[in-house]
Structure 1
Amino acid sequence: MWKRLLANPLSWLLAVVVAAGLAFGGYWFQPWKLFTDDVVDEALPQVQTAATGTPAPDPAAPGTDSPGSTASGSAPASPSPAGNQLLASGEFVTHEHETSGTAEVVQLADGRRQLVFRDFATSNGPDLRVWLSDQPVLDGRDGWFVFDDGQWAELDRLKGNRGDQVYEIPADVDLTSLTSVSIWCKRFSVSFGAAELAA
């Protein structure tokens, strides 16, 4: 076989071009990610609502069936006024790939802000980023390509396509104008899924 290739330079050149094309296509599209998951399980901040100062209910905690209820009839604990505050939240909607979970903007007691994903799930893919954007979240194909049309801030690469995760929001990011989050495939300029962040 090699003798035939060496005897015919055109065949050899064609073989090199095909091999290079396959290598580039594999790198660019990363098709194996369709069959793998990157699972993240980070500790999420406890939050209380900004309006009332009351802790957000934790369904797993005993004695939280209704507001103010406690175990053994004891008085409810007073939340710290300097605790973490839930500033905005929204549910993910599906764009190019099925996406679900909740996105939250949390201000920590020390003043730092974080974007929190709870029960998050989407498809794996190449070059996925977490973007805050000023674009509205539109259902269906209309929402796939809008997030690079206006202002946006890239927080980080997506840590994993499944699980709870936290992203730091830089102090200079204006959350009054950037009111949505997109899982943005930077390589193909398309949103996998997005959430509107409402107070």
Structure 2
Amino acid sequence: MKKILISCLGIMLLSSCVKDIELVPVNNVPSPVVQEGKQEATGVFMNGVHAVSGTVKVISDSKMPDKKYLSFENFKTDEGPDLYIYLAEDTRSTNFTKVIKLDKTGTFVLEIPQEARLDKQQYVLVWCKRFSVLFGSAKLSQ
């Protein structure tokens, strides 16, 4: 009985973030914000429990300095249900700010919410909200 319980638990954990939403590959032309803005930080994605790759940069808008953006380049991740991009203080999603529900891979730009605290939230997370699972992360550094 104990072996059956352990086996069932293992199967549930391995299948907890099953394919649910199809991520659309995009390859946007670099926006004027990225081309004219100032790069403040950069990070390289590392795997969590799934494969994640690519780079992310924090870009400040040259015309509107209070606006900042995340510029994803060659970003890839496994598909899963309920994936979000978070900014957080660590890879456990401590004091996180939700950026967006993830629906794409490739090269694209996202506006950082005004409430984000980039002085403290130095991790960009790919997070499966439904199962509280870290797909992957990038630590931002200057």
Class of the TM-score when normalised by the shorter of the 2 chains: 0.7 to 0.9
* Larger Rg, first or second structure (1 or 2): 1
Aligned pair 1:117/2:69, yes or no?
A: no
Instruction: Classify 1:31/1:184 alpha carbon distance in 2 versus 1 (closer, same or farther; 3 Å).
Output: closer
Aligned residues: 125
TM (norm. structure 1) is 0.57
Alpha-carbon distance in structure 2 between the residues aligned to 1:29 and 1:152: 20
Unaligned runs of 5+ in 1: 1-27, 49-54, 56-82, 138-145
Amino acid aligned to 1:124: E
| Alpha-carbon distance, 1:108 to partner | 1.1
Question: For the Cα contact (< 8 Å) 1:45–1:84, is it kept in 2?
Answer: no
Amino acid aligned to 1:116: S
> Which of 116, 129, 139 is 1:173 aligned to?
116
Question: For the Cα contact (< 8 Å) 1:93–1:100, is it kept in 2?
Answer: yes
Which string of whole-angstrom CA distances, capped at 9 and with x for unpartnered residues, describes residues 108-146 of structure 1?
1122100111000111111100000001x5xxxxxxxx1
Bigger share in helix: 1
| Alpha-carbon distance, 1:29 to partner | 6.0
RMSD: 2.3
Aligned pair 1:87/2:26, yes or no?
A: no
| Alpha-carbon distance, 1:97 to partner | 0.9
Matches within 5 A, 1:151-162: 151-160=95-104, 162=105
Question: 1:66 corresponds to which residue?
Answer: none
Identity %: 30
Alpha-carbon distance in structure 1 between the residues aligned to 2:75 and 2:103: 11
Runs of 4+ in 1 over 3 A off after TM superposition: 28-33, 45-48
TM (norm. structure 2) is 0.78
Bigger share in strand: 2
Unaligned runs of 5+ in 2: 1-15
Greater relative CO, 1 or 2 (CA 8 Å, sep 6+)? 2
